[in-house]
Amino acid sequence: MDNQPAKSDAELKLLMKACWNKYQLSGDITHLVEAVRAAPFFGERELAREIARLLNSLKPVV
């Protein structure tokens, strides 16, 4: 998560839309986790980690 290069706003928008669409089609929480991990959260990476951890604890949801 921290070792990834920063994505441009356009790249993030595309990723978020793709993750959301995949989640809506499948109900698979891993797509939400992917979006959370990629979201910048204004530099608060611990926030992203905690949200991802909580979402992962809900699996499997299908």
Domain that holds residue 46: 9-58
> Is residue 21 in a domain?
yes
Cβ-Cβ contacts under 8 Å for 54 (sequence gap 6 or more): none
Q: How many whole angstroms separate alpha carbon 44 and alpha carbon 61?
A: 27
Q: Which residue has the higher pLDDT, 3 or 49?
A: 49
Q: Is the pLDDT of residue 53 over 80?
A: yes
State pLDDT tens for residues 11-49: 999 999 999 999 999 999 999 999 999 998 988 989 999
Please give the tally of structural domains in the chain: 1
Domain assignment of residue 17, yes or no: yes
pTM: 0.77
Instruction: Answer whether residue 2 is part of any domain.
Output: no
Is 4 within a domain?
Answer: no
